[in-house]
Structure 1
Amino acid sequence: MPPRCDRISELPESLLTHILSYLPTKHSVKTSVVSTRWKNLWLNVPALDLHCEDFPYREEEEEAVLGFLDRLLEFEPGSRLLKVKVKCGSVEIKGLKDRISTVIHRGPQVVDVESCTKYLDPDTETYYPYLEFMPLNLYTSKTLVSLKLTYSGVEDPPGFVCMPCLKSMTLVQVHFRDDSSLERLVSGCPLLEELTLIRDIHSCFVGEVDRFMSVRSGSLKRFRVPLWYGLSCSSPSSAKCRLEIDAPGLEHMVLGEDQFDSIVVQKKLTSLFMVDLNIKFGELFLYGISSVGHMIISEKTLKALELYSRVELIPKFNNLSRLVALFPGNLLEFLPAFLECFPNLKHLILVKSLK
């Protein structure tokens, strides 16, 4: 029988590297043993998906990770890395920040970094909380379209933030230098359409706990503060932070838990189409969202509405046509007054709470 033809290896290199870009980098590297044709193919893949804990443990890990990145970045220093995902693991790797800076110089469109959270004191062999700040060239990237930072520190860059192509940003338990850092970061992204924000409500870094956060954007269309793996602000002191929203073009908003002790909408959100609420609120917030067309509200939010109605009139939601509400049985007497707030309601779904 004639030998089998390896048709995959006959494909153009550009197509092979594109296929490999959908694999984690550790799997892409394994293809180097297939044949001579594949030996250095992984070095030309326009994507990096690296989990540092895949490398040898502890003292060998740092040297292995940095050596691997140096080889990758030095192979074709003029080529682009379009997608970059780096999960640093729990323990600090000295020098990793410099490699991330080099990666950003390669013009990626997508960056997803999960920073380390601890460092090991070699004298006491004790782990301490650690905060890894992102390199300054991140804030002036001309190519980034999507950015996700997890457990990272965001510097207050000297000069200004300018990410002219960024459309999506996710900030998970990110630490800012001061209360206005988030506002400056968002304001430096003129095309930003989607923002997901998850605060670290149990920070070990006392000086980094935010007291005030502001989201101001003329381009923002979707804003999410989602439930974070079931965690909530059980301690009032952990949530002492005010959130201000000034985003006149906002269309979708999800506020999934009480990460903030107060939320204020600066201007009425006339473009708002859908809002999903699982929070408590104040008068300025209710007025700001009263133009919404579709609303989903939790039991917590409905109880807050009932308490609010005892002291103030709930504003009319004249544009609301669809409502989904989790309604506790002990508030059924409030239902008629509640429905009067939505004079043009067309679709109503009430889910009775089991509590």
Structure 2
Amino acid sequence: MAPFQDRLTFLPEAILFTILSLIPVKEAARTSVLAKPWRRLWLSRPNVELNDRLFLSPLTGIDEQHPNIEQIRDANKFYQLYYLIKVGFKWFANGAPSISSFSLIFCDPHICPINIENLVRHALYRHPNSLELDFSLPSWEDRLPLNNEFIERFTLPVYVYNYTFLESLKLASCRFDMNNFATIGLTLKSVFLAWIEIINATNLRLMLQSCPLLENLSLSKCFQAPHYDIQSDTLKTIVVDKCVDLLTLTIVAPNLVHLKYCGKVVQFGIIVSENFETAELDFGLVEMFDLEDGEKIANLLDSLYFARSLIVDSYVVQVISFDGVELNPLGQNRAKNLTIKTAFDESEFRGICMLLDNYPLLEEVRFEHGDHVIFREDMEVDYFHVVPPLTDWAKVSPSIDGCLPNMLKVVEIVGLQATLFEMNLLPYLITQAGVLQKLVLRAGNQMGFAYAKGVKFVLAQERKQLKVEVYSEDGVLYGPKGETKVQPKPCIINEHE
């Protein structure tokens, strides 16, 4: 038997650096014990990542009640500081002379602000293209809105504004001056801001004007400013995520390709062009049903009629059911792919029908079954005519100019649970879709899997030309010869952050 040969060590260093750059820094550091040549190899990664969340566990509720809680907190701070100094400065002392990116995720910057500034300074000496500074806490996500005065926990050092090689900047819980982007903004192509105060629309507009090459903009959980005015000829992707103080969103971006909005229903004013491809709308922050939201969302959908792919949530299909709401005339909406995140509730029935009728070019429709707030009690019967789905589906005839008779080729249901609504929706789609070619059923529980198998069996007898794929809740493909492991199909519409 041939002796063991360590072929990995004999790979060219360039390949080893690439391998180490593709795995988490914690795992990369562990390779230092493999052999002597590996001892400092991980320090030469082109992407420097310092993330204290990989090494520290947050305090739990039980910890908070511990009689020595202050000692536990002090110990945690000591390990944070030790990790930051020991690993961070060792990295720069022994690492490569140049790096491609620097990322610092640190949950308590108050304990060592000078060390953090020195680390950032050392990183910029190595001319990275990407800089990420994240001082937020994971627990904040579940406590929106937060007390604003405690969110911005670190101030961006002044010398960063004079750096002229950055292409990507990510700041979270980090105070900075939007009016001081004249130098740093010249090369920026991507800006991500989270848990940051935007004072007013003017500041945001001035920052965008200082970034002539900007292609990607993400504003996540930002606060203070009630109006966002985003105007740019270069932006291709815009994400506005859970900015709780927002009341008005204006976007004029002729080269915009992807738009993602998550938050409350605000006053939208959006102008895009035929370059536009994907729109994702999520109104999960809505707490109270408002009849006026139906018209606002309908106008928003009308302004996004260039979109080839559209993702909407349950609130959209509930609120557009209002009798006074009208969508774009047939023929103007260009979407070919539609994803509906739904609770499969009868309150969504009419909205689903409206989307299928008003988007005549749809070729693929995907339903994602999940937990969503249903505002059934807020819906007045006089306006919405909510009746049991059994009678509704039996009465409905799709528009002859809609997607069902002429264009719809693929239907996918994710999280199938064999609810009454699903068992009426599915036969309706199968019988009314005149050119349907493929049906994909992904079960959400055992009952849904059993129902999906029954549907497949029946259609194998009655619609042999229709291809039916059934997956269990574990992502196992069901077939005539048993079950075979496969990877679940990705979402029809790609998400862009």
Q: Tell me the TM-score normalized by structure 1.
A: 0.72
Structure 1 contact 48–81 (Cα < 8 Å) conserved: yes
Give the aligned partner of residue 10 of structure 1.
10
Q: CA deviation at 1:240?
A: 4.3
Mapping of 1:181-260 within 5 angstroms? 181-200=203-222, 209-225=224-240, 238-258=244-264
Structure 1 contact 153–176 (Cα < 8 Å) conserved: no
C-alpha deviations, 1:216-268, integer Å up to 9, x for none? Answer: 22122222335xxxxx79xxxx534422211111122222332x633322x35
Alignment CA distance shift 1:162-1:130 (3 Å): closer
**Identity value in percent:** 19
Q: CA deviation at 1:298?
A: 2.7
Alignment CA distance shift 1:42-1:187 (3 Å): same
Alignment CA distance shift 1:161-1:340 (3 Å): farther
Structure 2 contact 258–279 (Cα < 8 Å) conserved: yes
C-alpha deviations, 1:120-177, integer Å up to 9, x for none? Answer: xxxxxxxx76521333454555443443333333323536154455444333333335
Mapping of 1:263-282 within 5 angstroms? 263-265=268-270, 267-279=271-283, 280=293, 281=296
Given residue 257 of structure 1, which amino acid in structure 2 is its aligned partner? G
Give the aligned partner of residue 87 of structure 2.
68
Distance 1:306 1:134 in 2: 47
Alignment CA distance shift 1:60-1:216 (3 Å): same
SS at match of 2:76: coil
Distance 1:154 1:221 in 2: 24
Give the aligned partner of residue 128 of structure 2.
108
Mapping of 1:312-331 within 5 angstroms? 314-316=327-329, 318-322=332-336, 323-325=338-340, 329-330=346-347
Alignment CA distance shift 1:283-1:295 (3 Å): closer
Given residue 98 of structure 2, which amino acid in structure 1 is its aligned partner? R
1:97 matched to 2:117? The reply is: yes
SS at match of 2:107: coil
Alignment CA distance shift 1:10-1:178 (3 Å): same
Alignment CA distance shift 1:140-1:216 (3 Å): farther
Given residue 246 of structure 1, which amino acid in structure 2 is its aligned partner? V
Mapping of 1:25-174 within 5 angstroms? 25-53=25-53, 54=55, 57-75=76-94, 79-90=97-108, 92=110, 93-95=112-114, 96-116=116-136, 131-139=153-161, 141-158=163-180, 160-174=182-196
Whose Rg is larger?
Answer: 2
Distance 1:292 1:2 in 2: 60
Alignment CA distance shift 1:338-1:60 (3 Å): closer
Alignment CA distance shift 1:163-1:80 (3 Å): farther
Structure 1 contact 117–131 (Cα < 8 Å) conserved: no
Q: Tell me the TM-score normalized by structure 2.
A: 0.54
Gaps of 5+ in 1: 119-127, 201-207, 227-231
SS at match of 2:9: coil
Structure 2 contact 102–128 (Cα < 8 Å) conserved: yes
Distance 2:7 2:165 in 1: 35
Distance 2:313 2:135 in 1: 33
Given residue 10 of structure 2, which amino acid in structure 1 is its aligned partner? E
Q: CA deviation at 1:116?
A: 4.8
Structure with greater proportional helix content: 2
Give the aligned partner of residue 122 of structure 1.
none
Mapping of 1:303-342 within 5 angstroms? 303-307=318-322, 310=324, 314-316=327-329, 318-322=332-336, 323-325=338-340, 329-330=346-347, 341-342=358-359
SS at match of 2:217: strand
Q: CA deviation at 1:330?
A: 4.3
Given residue 133 of structure 2, which amino acid in structure 1 is its aligned partner? V
